[in-house]
Amino acid sequence: MTRILLATGGVLQLMLASFHGSFPWLFNWQADLSSISNTNRAILHTANLWIILSLAVTACASLIHWRELQVSRFGNFLLFSIGLMWTVRAYADVAYFQIGIDGALWRVALFIALAVCYWIPLLSGHREVKKSTLSI
């Protein structure tokens, strides 16, 4: 069960990383961001690149190192951190977007689902992993 949740979280994060990669074209950043300063434009592009990299790294950890995420303290810290990240992201959509108007409802549901993909393996502890070894 936890392997499926972590794999689901990893695949969804890879999809979101790809989606973020399309932001400049999808949201017409060249035109929309032309009215802001070069510094602010650079900050948005840099932040988006950082989000893409963060999503890709946590996705790879979820898909490749799913056992280690469950059995080590550092892995549990990462599960906690990723779950917290998606919980806060869901809250941010509620706080900053108009639910039902800006399309935030589907995003909130997605981010809560992602949080669950990491909270459940963290809270379920080591029960499933003890049945197998750490060797891949």
3-state helix, strand, coil in the chain (%, to 5): 80, 0, 20
Res. 126 pLDDT band, cuts 50 70 90 = low
Predicted model pTM: 0.84
Query: Average pLDDT in the 44-73 region?
Result: 95
Does 50 reside within a domain? yes
Per the structure, the complete domain to which residue 109 belongs is given by 2-131
Residue 75 belongs to a domain: yes
Does 31 map to a domain? yes
Per-residue pLDDT at 68: 93
CB atoms within 10 A of CB 35: 8
Check residue 106 and give its pLDDT.
Answer: 87
Instruction: State how many domains the chain has.
Output: 1
40 assigned to some structural domain: yes
- Give the distance, in angstroms, between the CA of residue 107 and the centroid of all CA atoms in the same chain: 12
In a domain, 51, yes or no: yes
Domain assignment present for 136: no
